[in-house]
Amino acid sequence: MDKYKQMKIFFIESNYITSKSTDTQELVFFMKPDSALLQNSAPFYIPSFSNEIQYETEIIVKINRLGKGIEERFASRYYSEIGLGIDFTAKDLQRYLIKKGLPWEKSKCFDNSAVISKFVNIENFINRIDQIPFNLEINEQNRQTGNTKNMIFNINKIISELSKYFTLKIGDIIFTGSPEGAGTVAIGDRLKGYVENECFFDFFIK
């Protein structure tokens, strides 16, 4: 965990084309603390404050150099690895907070709510970084499928937009958004995430 101390974890909202998408989308994002990270296919323990934990599977990018005000055409210079992640949300708690008009942090930013897989060099995806298929299996059944070609904001655009507001630092991680198919997990579930046909994480819900 030490190598991720004081790093930022960004999450892009509503970044996949759906039947509800509009032509005037604005990049929307939130952040989680480093204590939210869950690595090395460690088990995820459902927290005591929620009975409805929802998963969202996402391609993730790790920043490899310091940058601020990055032009989109140069953004590819600021990352060299991608991985797969899950954004866990306590949906029941989130609904309660929204109803009360309160911030969502309790439902989104709790410990271990940001699963990250291994990272691989983007050389494996040369000339097709915007056409990467990925999917999530739960108990050997496919539950969520996506492809970076359906992103509203591609990776380079995301990096450029975020760098307008934040200095991006080495080790910062960006969750690039989740396609349709989010759902809930239960104790005993086994989650396996794939990029193309390669397994990137494999862990249990406890």
Per domain, the residue ranges of the chain are: 2-204
pLDDT digits 0-9 by tens, 126-150? 678 899 999 999 999 999 999 999 9
Burial of 19 (0-12, 13-18, 19+ CB in 10 A): exposed
Burial of 191 (0-12, 13-18, 19+ CB in 10 A): buried
Q: What's the whole-number average pLDDT of the chain? A: 94
pTM greater than 0.85 (yes/no): yes
CATH topology of domain 2-204: Fumarylacetoacetate hydrolase; domain 2 (3.90.850)
pLDDT of residue 1: 45
pLDDT band for position 24 (50/70/90)? Answer: low
Neighbours of 42 (CB within 10 A): 13
pLDDT digits 0-9 by tens, 59-117? 999 999 999 999 999 999 999 999 999 999 999 999 999 999 999 999 999 999 999 99
